[in-house]
Amino acid sequence: MSRSAPLLALLQALRQRRRAATAEELAGELGIPVSTVLRDIATLVAEGAPINGAAGSGYLLRPGFSLPPLMLEEDELDAILLGLKLVARREDANLSEVAESAMGKIIAVLPAEPEAAAHDDELPVPADQPNDIHLMAILRQAIRQEQRLRLRYTDKKGKGTDRIVWPIVIDFVGAFEAMAAWCETREDFRHFRLDRIAAAELLESGYPRRRRVLLAEWRAENDMDDGY
C-alpha cells in the first residue's frame, strides 16, 4: 500500500464525521494503532489539511476541504450501484431520474474496466428473503467470474428441468426479475425468472465465450423467446 492510501483513508474518516473524533475512535475505525493516527494527523496538518483539535480533545476536519476523487473498492462500487438501481426502479419519477443521473456521473469517472462492468448492468437488486439473497450471491458470482451454472428450473407449465447455462445479466423483464443466459439445452438465449429457479450450482468450468460478447449478441436480439 502506498503512503498516500492510509492518509486518504484518515481524511475520509474525518470528513464523514460531524463532531470531533478522538485518536482512539479513529484508530478503532481504521484498524490501526493510535500512534499511527497521531503521526498521520501531524503529517496531514503539515501538508496543509485544515484539521482542528488535539490529542485528548479530538480532531475535526474544517468544512470546505475537498478530497481528491476516491478509489472505491469493487464491493463498495457494487453497493452504490445496487442502491441507485433500486431507487431508479421506483415509481417516483423524480427520484428515478435523479438516480439515473447519479449513476451516469459515477460511471463517467470510473476507470475503463469498472466503467464497462457498470454499463453491463450485471448487478441484481437484492431480494428480501434469505434464500433469495443466497441465490443472488451465486448468480452474481457466476456472472462476474464467467462460470457455468447448473439450474433446477420450473418452466411456465410447472415442469421441473435441469439446465446448464452461461449467465449474462440479471434485470427486470416485465414485472419479474429474470436472468438472461445462454442455455446449453436449447442452444440459444433464454430468460429464467428468478422466482422459478429452485436451485443453482456453480460449476468449476467457465463458459467458452466471453460474457461481454454474449451480452452484445443478447442485446442485438429483438425477437427473443422469453424462455419462461
Q: Are 139 and 170 in contact (CB under 8 A)?
A: yes
Rounded Cα gap, residues 107 and 122, in angstroms: 14
Measured distance CA(192)–CA(165) in Å, rounded: 10
C-alpha 198/C-alpha 213 separation (Å) is 28
Q: How many CA atoms lie within 13 A of 50 on its CB side?
A: 8
Under DSSP, the state recorded for 195 is G
Q: What is the pLDDT of residue 127?
A: 45
Global pTM value: 0.47
Q: pLDDT tens per residue, the chain (228 residues)? A: 456 678 888 888 888 787 899 999 999 989 999 999 999 999 988 888 888 888 788 999 887 666 555 566 767 777 777 777 767 765 567 767 878 877 777 776 666 554 445 555 444 444 444 346 678 888 888 888 899 999 999 888 888 899 999 998 887 666 677 888 999 988 899 889 988 999 999 998 888 888 888 888 888 874 544 444
Tell me the three cell numbers of residue 126: 437484492
Determine the pLDDT at residue 6. Answer: 82
- So what's the pLDDT on residue 155? 81
Distance CA 166, CA 210 (A): 10
Grid cell listed for 201: 450450482
List of domains in the chain: 4-61 (1.10.10.10), 74-119 (no CATH), 130-220 (2.30.30.100)
